[in-house]
Amino acid sequence: MLDRLMFGSRVTTQRPTVEFGSGVAESMQSIGTTLDLLARAGAVSTSTKVKVLHPEWDDSAVKAEVTLILTETGAGAPDPVGTFPM
């Protein structure tokens, strides 16, 4: 509009259309940092960590991944002295 008013341009002005996305996506670095801090504090389960990283997975896929993680890390081994009842 200014170009037309000030300089005599013959451009037809149009109101722009602005569309906002559904929200801001968190970066993988941010998610990783959050999960790392929660894990260090002992405030998050392996299941929750997997669900946060893979929200599109169903419960059976999450359970399978948790089983793999616990087996690989040895965290799924039973308590050898029976301190914590299962």
Instruction: Look at residue 84 and tell me whether its pLDDT is greater than 80.
Output: no
C-alpha 86/C-alpha 84 separation (Å) is: 6
Instruction: Look at residue 80 and tell me whether its pLDDT is greater than 80.
Output: no
Residue 49: inside a domain, yes or no? yes
pTM of the model: 0.64
Residue 29: inside a domain, yes or no? no
C-alpha 79/C-alpha 60 separation (Å) is: 25
Question: Which amino acid type is present at position 24?
Answer: V
Instruction: Look at residue 12 and tell me whether its pLDDT is greater than 60.
Output: yes
pLDDT in tens, 23-68: 888 899 999 999 999 999 999 999 999 999 999 999 999 999 999 9
The CA-CA-CA angle for residues 59, 29, 46, to 5°, reads 30
Total domain count, the chain? 1
Q: What is the pLDDT of residue 33?
A: 96
Residue 71 belongs to what domain range? 45-77
